[in-house]
Amino acid sequence: MDSGNYGKYDFIVVSNRLPVDRVAEDDGEGWRRSPGGLVTALAPVMSSSEGAWVGWHGAPDETVEPFEHDDTHLVPVPLSEEEVEFYYEGFSNATLWPLYHDVIAPPEFHRNWWDAYKAVNRRFAEATAAIAAEGATVWVQDYQLQLVPRLLRHLRPDLRIGFFNHIPFPPVEIFAQLPWRRQVLEGLLGADLVGFQRASDTSNFLRAVRRYTGSLIKQHFVELHDEAGRRECRADTFPISIDVARINELARRPDVVERSRQIREEVGDRTILLGVDRLDYTKGIGHRIKAYGELLEDGKLQVEDTVLIQVASPSRERVESYRLLRDDIEASVGRINGTFDTLGKTAIRYLHHSYPTEEMVALYLAADVMLVTALRDGMNLVAKEYVAARTGVDGALVLSEFTGASDHLRQAILVNPHDIDGLKERILQALNLPKGEATRRMRAMRRQILQNDVEHWSQTFLHALAAGRG
Ligand code: G6P
């Protein structure tokens, strides 16, 4: 490409989703913040740097012109109805997602899904190549776009390319199932730096590279030979975090504090257990509800003085396993409420909605105990948000050891969510935590996340990406 063809952006984030989604509203079309941890983490990174964000705008069969949003240049990549089905719902969320999350649901392997994945990854790479300035830094995000680094390097060898995987990278014994495992690894190795949430993800990736590409690996560096000659790809661990200052600030805002008081009043001034998740089978929502239901049954908890609020935000609703999960969860909620509710008090307040951050922070402030019982989770930002919101240095966090967050929040009440008796004990322990101990634990966790906010994450990654530049 000659210099006349370069674009003007020096820093570009590429992710399947843009930070905002196209939605139909009563009075026309509008935009709404996209779901999930990726956008939660990256939005503040982008708002503090002038760059571009390449991603899908969430609606099928629609071409949207680039536009500015919160000082970021957004470049929507169109997906056809069939690509949404094959690339997004299919290969991304019914092949890779379950495969990378310990095969909690069985992954499906379909060749036409793989073809769509390749085609869409190519489109993302081309859209990025067209707007990148000479020598720009491009940061590709997550499992939907694993082929982009290699495709992009081919189109634009001048770029510095980083990739970050927000979800776990599976052990090689599981990854081995993927019929296109070598192509995926080669796609990722197109980057200069590949980042993961946990040290175990990084070592799983390096083991897979060793086994299926035959590349030479020295510690964290993979030696590669391509068109441009010899180069290296570094793989390393960069645990993601949240915008701690923003959550802290919201948690002190009088209207948010007042809203949390209202929430407590609305549930009848009972002890509040809280779960907040996308409605996803990786989150262990069913295990949590089962444990809570058994505690009511055993008479260890009473509906008169305890309530479980479960926010389950709608997610991937056209994917079969998500539909089944929803039926399952709603049946258990119905059963438990049917058995234990009184006319005035309900056992589980189940909310199938997404809420703005203000409302979430009010919920965190209102909750005595936060339950994060994921069966597998790259990081889990909800756990970190709860800690950041507890400005009173109180409350208790029950946290699954299968989350990346458990590497850092060691003073949480750690639990194996598959062990229902253990989970019940941990919930009771959290409910009865002596005040001094609760404060000690929360203080230590707050210190940890205050020092490691999302800014720290992105700066560490981007410094590592810039280092080693020839
Ligand atoms: C997780 C993934 C993100 C994804 C988000 C929401 O956080 O790591 O890549 O965007 O879930 O899922 P969705 O399929 O709605 O984009």
Of 290, 316, 249, the C-alpha closest to 105 is 316
Measured from the Cα of 144, ligand 1's closest atom is 9
Site residues for ligand 1, CB cut-off 6 Å: 16-17, 35-38, 142, 166-167, 315-316
Please say whether the beta carbons of 191 and 163 come within 8 A.
Answer: yes
Taking CA atoms only, the protein residue closest to ligand 1 atom 10 is 36
Exactly one of 142, 277, 377, 453 is catalytic; name it. 377
CATH superfamily of 3-240+455-467: Glycogen Phosphorylase B; (3.40.50.2000)
Query: Given pLDDT bands bounded at 50, 70 and 90, which one contains residue 5?
Result: confident
Residues 74-106 pLDDT 10s? 999 999 999 999 999 999 999 999 999 999 999
Mean pLDDT along residues 207-217: 96
Mean local confidence (pLDDT), 205-212: 98
Looking at residue 3, its pLDDT comes to 53
Whether 287 is catalytic? no
Percent of the chain with pLDDT over 90: 89
Other CB atoms within a 10 A radius of the CB of residue 339 amount to 12
Active site residue 280: no
Predicted model pTM: 0.96
Q: State the catalytic residue, choosing from 57, 101, 166, 408.
A: 166
The amino acid occupying position 47 is S
ipTM, 2 dp:
0.97
Report residue 274 CA to chain centroid gap.
19
Nearest CA to ligand 1 atom 12: 36
Domain with CATH 3.40.50.2000 in the chain: 3-240+455-467, 244-451
What sign results for the dihedral spanned by CA atoms 19, 180, 225, 234?
Answer: positive
Q: Higher model confidence: residue 35 or residue 251?
A: 251
Query: How large is the average pLDDT for residues 336-363?
Result: 97
Going from the Cα of 395 to the center of ligand 1, the distance in angstroms, rounded, reads: 28
Ligand 1 atom index nearest CA of 378: 8
Cα–Cα distance for residue pair 49/9, rounded to 1 Å:
11
In this structure, which topology does domain 244-451 adopt according to CATH?
Answer: Rossmann fold (3.40.50)
DSSP H helices in 276-348: 285-297, 320-340
